[in-house]
Amino acid sequence: MVTETNMTNLEKQHSARVLVIDDSLDSVKLMSHILDHYKCDVTMAFDGQDAIPLLVNKPFDLIVLDWQMPQMGGRDTLMLMDRLLSERKIHKIRRPIPVVIYTGHSEEELDLPLVKHFTYTGFINKRQAFSSMLRSFNFILRSI
């Protein structure tokens, strides 16, 4: 159960560096609002191509990834980022980067690829209530 004390303790921890990748401005604003609540350092990208240079130049503690994007979907984005990290040895990664899949699809509909440098930490449906998203991120951020 999430309590006010738990949220306060989480907010006092270091600022998690979070990369949000989503083509919808409304979704990016919502994620930014939720993550700002937890004092995260949020960087935004509007598709996979925009995310690549960000990942190259800055280490992230968490990635929030929309699965359905027009230019490059979440699956392709994740596979490209994983290949890039493998080939270029960018940022000495000690452990896989947690990824939250943020989509309007059900979890069962997703074809999640096997990746070396990322780990699936959560699934958040875009249709769930704001309060439920807030609780989900409280749990996710405490686990990273």
pLDDT of residue 13: 52
The fold of the 4-39+51-143 domain, in CATH, is Rossmann fold (3.40.50)
pTM flag (> 0.75)? yes
pLDDT at residue number 93? 61
CA 28 – CA 39 distance, rounded (Å) = 16
Q: What is the percent of the chain with per-residue pLDDT over 90, rounded to a whole number?
A: 66
Annotated domain spans of the chain: 4-39+51-143
Torsion 63-102-49-39 (CA) sign: negative
